[in-house]
Amino acid sequence: MIKQAIGKTEEEIDLAIIDWKGLGNSDMRQQAISVLDKLHIRYERTSEVGKHD
């Protein structure tokens, strides 16, 4: 699903926002993170967005 979403996006993707609780169990989260890592896309949890400033 992640690769499909990326393929449909015209702009370059440099950040993915992950709804940690929405992904369900830890296996699903790890699978999503693995795909993003392989595609060299950084990610943040929704709860962490904007806290780095």
Q: Which domain holds residue 10?
A: 2-48
Instruction: For residue 51, give Cα distances in angstroms to 10, 15, 44, 46, 47.
Output: 27, 15, 10, 10, 8
User: Tokens representing 11?
Assistant: 């702009």
- Domain-embedded: residue 37: yes
User: Tokens representing 39?
Assistant: 């595609």
Q: What is the pTM of this model?
A: 0.75
User: Tokens representing 43?
Assistant: 């990610």
Number of domains present in the structure of the chain: 1
Least confident of 2-6, 31-35, 36-40: 2-6
The mean per-residue pLDDT over the stretch 11-39 comes to 91
- Domain-embedded: residue 32: yes
- Domain-embedded: residue 53: no
- Domain-embedded: residue 35: yes
Q: What is the mean pLDDT of the chain?
A: 88
Instruction: Please count the helices (runs of H) and the strands (runs of E) in the chain.
Output: 2, 2
pLDDT band at 52 (very low <50, low <70, confident <90, very high): low
On whether the CB atoms of residues 46 and 21 are closer than 8 A, the answer is: no
Q: Note the pLDDT of residue 44.
A: 93
